[in-house]
Amino acid sequence: MKTALITGVTGQDGSYLAENLLKKQNYKHVIGLVRRRSADGVNRLEQIQTHPALTIMQGELEDAGLLARLFSVYRIDECYNLAAQSFVRYSFDNPVATAMTNYIGVINLLEAIRHHSPNTRYYQASTSEMFGGLTEEYLSENHSFHPRSPYGTSKLAAYWHAVNMREAYGLFTCNGILFNHESPRRGSEFVTQKIAAAAVRFRAWKNSGGMGEPPVLRLGNLEARRDWGHAQDYVEGMRLMLQEEEPGDYVLATGQAHSVRDFVELSFAHPEVGVKIRWKGEGLNEVGSDADGRVLVAIDPVHYRPSEVHVLLGDWKKARECLGWKPQFSFEDMVDQMIRAQVARREGHGPTA
Ligand code: NAP
Ligand code: G4F
């Protein structure tokens, strides 16, 4: 019977991972690290908040002393480090805060493990952003890195720190190099959730009689392509990595890329929304309209990034062969789930996150 610590438990992945572990027979205790908020920040834990095997502890990755105490007091078998400043756009304006959580926080955690609990198995939430998106190739664990944002550089530093602790001190550290994964619990500023919310906002406008102008979805780069999977599949992959005999680094991806434009078209074409988007114009002047010529999508350069990650496409062969991992949700299933969850939320009968 194991004890697991999840940092970032209030996030998209952390909440799914906590549910995943609590459903398994062999976890007697799941500890979730939560940072203090001025308002309630545990919406995504609605379904498990009162589970007897879940303990919520307050703390942040920047607090080395707290982490040391945590690993001295509890016998933690597995540590999943999912806490991060995870929004790429924000990292350009806030590089130091991003590095403090995403890199220094990882040093703090691994020092606590090294000194107080060297047998703890450690999962590091690494990312396809480390590759930088300058090539159309399928990206595997062996591909070189070229991060294109302060977020990417902070995550790459953390990646190498986890590898170094494995090589220097024999710690059981794994990097999950995860490509984008989404779900109804995705944060509202990420492009997929932003699009799903906008499509459903348009549906509400239409259903209430369509008076005045429809709401406009303002986006940045429509041509960016991502290998989008479903978060519930990916948290299972994280768990599997820590069950292996030897530590290692694994890509989790689907092997299919879609553009932001594809995501818009599919979301608005969803049966709940029912609009075929027609594109007109170029660059900053491009707009997406409905059959009556009403503008529903426009470009706002504020969403462009100083340097863009153009395309990410993952090769997940190692995860398939070594972990037996395989994504279960298709891209279309995921979009469908996100739209339906937005509809339920808007109509007041869905989970709040
Ligand atoms: P998310 O929804 O943004 O969740 C991030 C979590 O980290 C939240 O619980 C957040 O707390 C917590 N956190 C932030 N700063 C913290 C700090 N200083 N101390 C303690 N906790 C802190 O992210 P996600 O999508 O679940 O992603 C999970 C991890 O995987 C992240 O490390 C992310 O960088 C990485 N990743 C994500 C993807 C993806 O596509 N989702 C792909 C590759 C890698 P609050 O709730 O208080 O904000
Ligand atoms: O949804 P995004 O903000 O996700 P991004 O930057 O790919 O990062 C996510 O995935 C990473 C894994 O590769 C994680 F490590 C990271 O933590 C995070 O979860 O943007 C996706 C793409 C970008 O190319 C962006 O330029 O969508 C483009 N985009 C176009 N318009 C937009 C918008 N992104 C956002 N957030 N908002 C827009 O209006």
Alpha-carbon gap, residue 84 to 129, rounded angstroms: 14
pLDDT for res 264: 98
Phi-psi region of 180 (alpha: psi -120 to 50; beta: other; left: phi over 0): beta
What separation in Å is there between the alpha carbon of 80 and the centre of ligand 1?
A: 11
Q: Separation of 252 CA from ligand 2 center, angstroms?
A: 17
pLDDT tens-digit readout, 254-280 = 999 999 999 999 999 999 999 999 999
- Which residues on adjacent β-strands are paired with residue 219? 299
Rounded to the nearest whole angstrom, what is the distance from the C-alpha of residue 313 to the centroid of ligand 2? 14
Question: Given this model, what pLDDT does residue 352 score?
Answer: 60
Determine the pLDDT at residue 307. Answer: 97
Number of Cβ within 10 Å of residue 232's Cβ equals 21
Ligand 2 — pocket residues by CB below 6 A?
A: 86, 88-89, 127-129, 179-180, 189-192, 194, 219-221, 224, 226, 260, 303, 305, 308-309, 312
pLDDT value of position 140:
98
User: Measuring CA to CA, which residue among 260, 276, 280 is closest to residue 268?
Assistant: 276
Atom of ligand 1 nearest to the CA of 101: 18
Query: Counting runs of H as helices and runs of E as strands, what totals does the chain give?
Result: 11, 15
Report the C-alpha gap between 85 and 222 in whole angstroms: 24
Cβ burial 148-183 (10 Å sphere, 16+ → b, else e)? bbbbbbbbbbbbebbbebbeeeebbbbbbbbbbbbb
pLDDT of 60:
97
User: What does each of the 353 residues of the chain score in pLDDT, given as a tens digit?
Assistant: 999 999 999 999 999 999 999 999 999 999 999 999 888 778 899 999 999 999 999 999 999 999 999 999 999 999 999 999 999 999 999 999 999 999 999 999 999 999 999 999 999 999 999 999 999 999 999 999 999 999 999 999 999 999 999 999 999 999 999 999 999 999 999 999 999 999 999 999 999 999 999 999 999 999 999 999 999 999 999 999 999 999 999 999 999 999 999 999 999 999 999 999 999 999 999 999 999 999 999 999 999 999 999 999 999 999 999 999 999 999 999 999 999 999 999 998 777 65
Closest CA to 225 of 300, 139, 284: 139
Active site residues: 127, 129, 151
- Strand ranges in 198-248 using DSSP code E only, listed in sequence order: 217-219, 225-226, 229-230
Interval 296-336: pLDDT, tens:
999 999 999 999 999 999 999 999 999 999 999 999 999 99
What is the pairing mode between strands 78-81 and 2-7? parallel
Predicted local distance difference test score (pLDDT) of residue 353: 59
Whole-angstrom distance, CA of residue 200 vs CA of residue 198: 5
